[in-house]
Structure 1
Amino acid sequence: MLLDPAFFAAMVPAVILMGLSKGGFSGLGLLSLPLMAQVVSPITAAAIMLPVLMSQDVVTVWSYRRDFDRRTLATLLPGAVIGIVAGYLLAARVADGAVVLAIGLISVVFALRNLVSGGKAELPPTLPNYPQGTFWGALAGFTSMIAHAGGPPYQIYTMPLRLAPSVFVGTGALFFAMINVIKVVPYIALGQFTTQNLTASLALLPVAIVSTLAGVWLVRKVPVKRFYRIIYSLLLLVGLKLTYDGLNGLHWLG
């Protein structure tokens, strides 16, 4: 695997995209697994990526250690734990395509609603809401466990809060760092942390760290309004891709 040029040709761009996503440009990371799946199976790709993600979590959590919203985390985490457990228990019974399709359609509608307004009729920031936070947190945990697509539910709940970009990213960094730690147990149970997979993860760590630091640097340079417009645009693109993947997963498209 490690001596295969095709492996690195797919894995290095995938890790760079994930690093930029972890650094603050949420959504790019969802493009990583399809790239990796060109050279390894999806479950192997996810297993290789998990240690890489956790190394990137260390960078982002440290970089934004003073920039996070405790109340937002408190509204999301209980639901996320429930979602992860449900995803693990129901993984064999739930159609991945249905989950991905639903998240894709929700993401497209949400992103379009905000992009079409162009900021002309921008709504005032919402306040953290425990019922909504529990729902979207559970959906983020569930889709992260089932389809590695926890980002859109997190964004849909947190973007209307209109947090400062650094706080938005820092809160997400802590949230997904905790989710990834919890996900270690199912991956161990699946026997995916093999010597070969862990060696591949280790080889990709330098790229992971540098790309994450680049994402952190870019977030701090982009103005607030432009930052949110970029995030909404990325969410729209990711939503369209998830919708397409979901339709394929349900075998609706030949």
Structure 2
Amino acid sequence: MIEFLEGAFASPLGFGLAALAAFCVGLAKGGLPVVGMLSVPILALVMPPLQAAALILPIYVISDMVGIYLYRHAFSRRNLAILIPAGFIGVVIGWATVSYMPDRAITLAVGILGLLFCVDAFFKRKRKLAPKPADVPRGLFWGTLSGLSSFVSHAGGPPYQMYVLPQRLPKLEFAGTSTILFALVNVMKLFFYWELGQLTVEGTLGPTLALLPVAVGAAFLGAWATRRIDERIFFRLVEAVLLATSVMLIWKAATS
């Protein structure tokens, strides 16, 4: 793996794509919705997807620290109480089944669910339905799926959004809850990636140090932008990115 990563970073294209992936991660940790999901597909252009996910994971974890600081006063305690245990269950399922469950099956399922959610949300918005409260059954289902898809390809955003968007949380509370949840999920993933042999100090330390300034700078930029975007536009952006990401996931599953 070390030699492969060195080869991937040896070219300007390889390092440029890695820097772009780290920039997307930082923006997401600053509060901009699911932009971080683009990181693995970007890196997958120059390396295998699972290795790409392992490479970018330390960037996620360190950027998460910035996100937690930025949103330390803005989050939903009830949602976190439901989603954190569910996310851990999803990570464990991903680790236990990684050798048996095709990545494309999970990718396709998440993409289809995200697409259906966007269609449903469009019609519900027309009917102006009341916000849904945070509830345990839905939270456990979507939280587990979020942890599972996050383990496979850092794509836990769509299931999280499908659970939380109908609650119509305030903008910063939505962003803070997402940031804190995935910060903890990413820490959980460190051990399991290491146990699978995908994460080593020798293989990830150099790329992490090289890309960290890009990710941290992008996190502050993302937080600055999140606080200045109109709340209605913010959530329309969330839905638009969710729709685009879902289509991308379906395409990826169908062509992989």
TM-score w.r.t. length of structure 1: 0.93
Structure 1 residues 138-217: aligned runs within 5 Å: 138-191=144-197, 192-217=199-224
Q: Is the 2:139–2:163 Cα contact (8 Å) retained in structure 1? A: yes
Q: Specify the code of the residue in structure 2 equivalent to 1:166.
A: L
Q: Deviations over 1:184-211 (max 9, x none)?
A: 1112112322413221011000000011
> Sequence identity of aligned pairs in percent?
37
Q: Distance in 1 between matches of 2:80 and 2:203?
A: 35
In the TM superposition, 1:1-254 aligns within 5 A as 1=6, 2-115=9-122, 119-191=125-197, 192-249=199-256
> Does the residue aligned with 2:200 lie in a helix, a strand or coil?
coil
Instruction: Give the whole-Å Cα distance in 2 for the aligned partners of 1:225 and 1:58.
Output: 27
**Alignment partners' CA distance in 1, 2:24 and 2:189:** 21
- Alpha-carbon distance between aligned partners in 1 of 2:137 and 2:192, rounded to the nearest angstrom: 27
How far does the alpha carbon of each residue in 1:61-99 deviate from its partner, in whole angstroms, 9 at most, with x for none? Answer: 100000001001111122111111111111111111111
1:88-146 CA distances to partner (integer Å, 9 max, x unpaired)? 111111111111111101111211333466x4432211111001101111111111112
CA distance 1:213–1:115, shift in 2 (3 Å): farther
Looking at structure 1, the residues matched to 179 and 144 of structure 2 have their Cα atoms a distance apart, in angstroms, of: 17
Which amino acid in 1 is paired with 2:69? W
* 2: CA distance, partners of 1:115 / 1:229: 10
Cα offset for 1:3? 4.3
- The amino acid across from 1:125 in the alignment is P
Given that 1:61 and 1:173 are in contact with CA atoms closer than 8 Å, whether structure 2 keeps it comes out as yes
Aligned residues of 2:27 and 2:222 also touching (Cα < 8 A): yes
- Note if contact 1:68-1:168 (Cα within 8 Å) is conserved in structure 2: yes
In structure 2, what is the Cα distance between the partners aligned to 1:159 and 1:92? 33
Superposition RMSD in Å: 1.5
SS in 2 for 1:25: coil
- Equivalenced residues, count: 248
Q: Distance in 2 between matches of 1:30 and 1:116?
A: 26
Output the amino acid matched with 2:35.
L
User: Residue type of the partner of 1:34?
Assistant: P
Matched residue of 1:125: which SS?
coil
Q: Distance in 1 between matches of 2:204 and 2:219?
A: 21
Gaps of 5+ in 2: 1-5
Counterpart of 2:160, as a letter, is Y
CA distance in 2 between counterparts of 1:50 and 1:147 reads 10
Q: Runs in 1 of length 4+ with deviation above 6 angstroms?
A: none
Alpha carbons 1:77, 1:134 under 8 Å: kept: no
In the alignment, residue 162 of structure 1 is paired with which amino acid?
R
Does the 8 A contact of 2:21 with 2:38 survive in 1? yes
TM-score, with length taken from structure 2:
0.92
State the distance in 1 between where 2:154 and 2:65 align. Answer: 19
Q: Which residue of 2 aligns with 1:252?
A: none
**What letter is aligned with 1:154?**
Y
